[in-house]
Structure 1
Amino acid sequence: VALSTTGVIALLGSVLLTMWSIEQAFNRIWRVPSARPKLTRFLMYWTLLTLGTVVAVAALAATSALFSIPALAGVEARDLSDRLLRFLPHALEFLAFTAAYWLIPHRTVPLRFAMLGALLATILFEWLKWALAIYLRNASFEQLYGALAVIPIFLIWVYTSWLVVLLGASLAASLGSFRYQPRAMRLSPGAEIYAVMRLLGRFEEVRRDGQGLHLAQIKQREPSFTDELLQQMISSLCQMSIIQRSESGAWLLSRDLDKVTLCEIYEGMDLRIPTDELDLPSRQDAIGRASTSALEHLRQPLKAPLERSVGSFLESIAGKDRTQ
């Protein structure tokens, strides 16, 4: 039965909205600070829909062509075809999950992490199908709901399938977030402004060559940054329009740092200025010396005013109380 034009439009709209919801969920799991531009997002959705269909059809066609070869005819061919046909759905599920975890988040996801998340999702999805089949054989949905029995079954299937997708995505995201950091390489509490200066220094280094930095490159060059701190800094700098993300997934400066003031960084990122000397990692390199100089420039004028006691400002109040 052919769909009408309205039906086709409604189907495409529902599919695109579903993919938009999936992308939003993935971006939250991977803590992506900004979404893709609308046109890029639509093209990605359309590519995934068409490419996924082509891959599925091509896999089925290749399987049919393989078993049509005369040399593979007979009992052995049937055994081989049975094995491959049993394996093919699992392989397609694995490829679909891998593509989703690798392509949909608006950040660079290592392929090996996407594949590990896809492996977990594929295993859980197969267990889910097996458990649901056993449950349906022993449940009495049709006796309770009659013709409407398909509705609760469908809702349960959609909900549990979505949980499987999110669990696989959570594993893929967590693998990229875990990094062991020795104590000597960790930033002291209150040194976030030093970290911001180092991050901007890294962007300034590559800006001269017209390039940007991927998150993996930043983590490699700045091992003292935790994933949480890096995501917070990237998100804040992006909201302040100081950096932006390119189509390749790299982050690059979008403003001249000569026109970005320390006050803008301090207030826009809700930072604090440490008044005591801190043990800062990598302070001896060029970026470290420049960042330490900026920190001293901010800290020195504050030392004397902050050494005054609170009572010295409240003397007038105490004097009024005594006179009354």
Structure 2
Amino acid sequence: ASIGLDNIRVIPAAEPGQQSQTLSVWLKDLFGQAAEVDLAAVHWIGIALTIYASLSLMVTIENCLNVIVRAPVGRSWVRRVPLYWFVLTVSPLAVVVWYFANSQFDAWVSSVETWQWVAYLFWLGWNLFFAWLLLLAVYMLVPNTQPNIKPAAAGAAVAACLLVVGLRGLGAYLNYGFMVGQLYGSLGLIPLFMIWVYLMWLSILFGLEVAAILQALPGRQLEELERERKTESLVDPAAVVAVMEVIGQRFAQGQPTTLIKVCELTGLPEQTTSKMFSGLVLENLLHRLDGPTDTVTLAKPPDQISGVELLEVAFRLVDSGQSPDGSKLLDRLRQAQRDLVASTSLAGLLEEA
């Protein structure tokens, strides 16, 4: 009543015929209903949602980093749980230590009356070092591969510089820029913060991209890598059939197929098998699934996948990047292969296996 709530009347929207009541009475009723809610169930539901969100976030981060470093699959859950537990518990402590140290440095810089620029450079170097150390640990531990320390350190240094610039930029904007709260209120900071988090995430990914490039180019020229890529792109048409047989067998068992599983059963290189996956997905013969990197299953029943379709995919993979004018003998050999499997489907191949 002291702030005028009794002078404001509320009419419930769901019950138009009901008489209005003062805002103070309406708030008291609302608070009373909220007090009757059983918080025990909400407590456990909140814990469950927090655990699920944390695990989903870590899985997404690991999958993104695995794509950049070309790790075939994510690590098993037996190895994931200790790593995720370590990251989720140590990261908040690291952030607290970082902010505490920054506050101490800020107090020390403010107390220094002379050589302010030296103190500021020292403070900036500390921020860069801590960010670099944290990102280096992420690049070395999270991806399901073992990168070299030097490229990872260089990539972490690039990402650390971008993160520190982003932190200082956000602080400068909020302190000296146009006051968002005066135009939109406090909710106006939410989209700004989301965009800033997105840019910082791109900075982390860019640092890992730099590390992956440096590791792939240790004193070699791009022409040499291109020659290696063309050599590795050679595909035996029969290998595509073998890959589809493995996927078809696991499809019959109700199981998806990962890239590493196919490589183990067929002995094919990971890069070659990954290209086969991409070609088969483009032809709507395979369907990618959510989960570990390069997890697929059949996009149609095995009896609807002809042997000719599989050979055509293999022929296109072999011919990629080469001149369209081929040997007439090679054309006759390919036509003989088509005629041989003209009446064969993947289901028939699985029965013969």
TM-score, normalising length from structure 2?
0.46
Larger radius of gyration, structure 1 or 2?
A: 2
**What's the TM-score once normalised by structure 1's chain length?**
0.50
Structure with the greater relative contact order (CA < 8 A, sep ≥ 6): 1 or 2? 1
